């Protein structure tokens, strides 16, 4: 199975634990997380901009739409740019999930923190913990 995700959502799926902006958003994130955990996802195509997760976010229409790009929309675009740069990903290119996980696992904790800087969920530390667990898979000595 191939999933199309905006760049920073490949980071969000690591630490999703049921928090979100609305019940619809939480349900969509839970659905995506379940698909990842099932092992059915083999490939991810990186697509900056809106994906199915974004469409369920209550901020989508008023802060993140191309017609009304507010502060939140500019921040998510910056998170996408940082993710692409840190993981050396090309938009539109299909990547095998193990390759994406390896690239994520090769990021230092500080690099991961910098990519997510400004994300309102960062202060919970959930994503950092999930990233550390992924790093352990690729670098058990660290």
Q: pTM of the entire structure?
A: 0.86
Within 13 Å of residue 73, how many CA atoms lie on the same side as its CB?
16
pLDDT tens digit sequence for 53-112: 778 777 666 666 666 666 666 788 899 999 999 999 999 999 999 999 999 999 999 999
2-30 burial code (b ≥16 CB/10 A, e <16): ebebbbbbbbbbbbbeeebeeeebeebbe
Euclidean distance between CA atoms 76 and 119, whole angstroms: 8
Closest listed residue to residue 66, CA positions, set 78, 79, 77, 57: 77
Residue 51 above 90 pLDDT?
no
- Burial degree of 64 (CB within 10 A; 0-12, 13-18, 19+): buried
């Amino acid at each position: 199975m191939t999933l199309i995700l905006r760049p920073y959502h490949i980071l969000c799926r690591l630490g999703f634990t049921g928090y979100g902006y609305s019940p619809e958003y939480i349900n969509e994130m839970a659905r995506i997380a379940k698909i990842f955990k099932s092992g059915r996802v083999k490939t991810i195509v990186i697509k900056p901009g809106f994906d199915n997760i974004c469409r369920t976010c209550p901020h989508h229409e008023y802060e993140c739409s191309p017609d009304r790009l507010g502060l939140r929309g500019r921040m998510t675009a910056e998170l996408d740019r940082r993710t692409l740069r840190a993981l050396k990903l090309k938009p539109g290119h299909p990547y095998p999930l193990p390759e994406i996980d390896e690239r994520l696992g090769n990021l230092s904790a500080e690099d991961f923190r910098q990519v997510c800087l400004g994300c309102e969920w960062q202060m919970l530390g959930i994503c950092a913990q999930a990233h550390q667990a992924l790093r352990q898979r690729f670098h058990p000595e660290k």
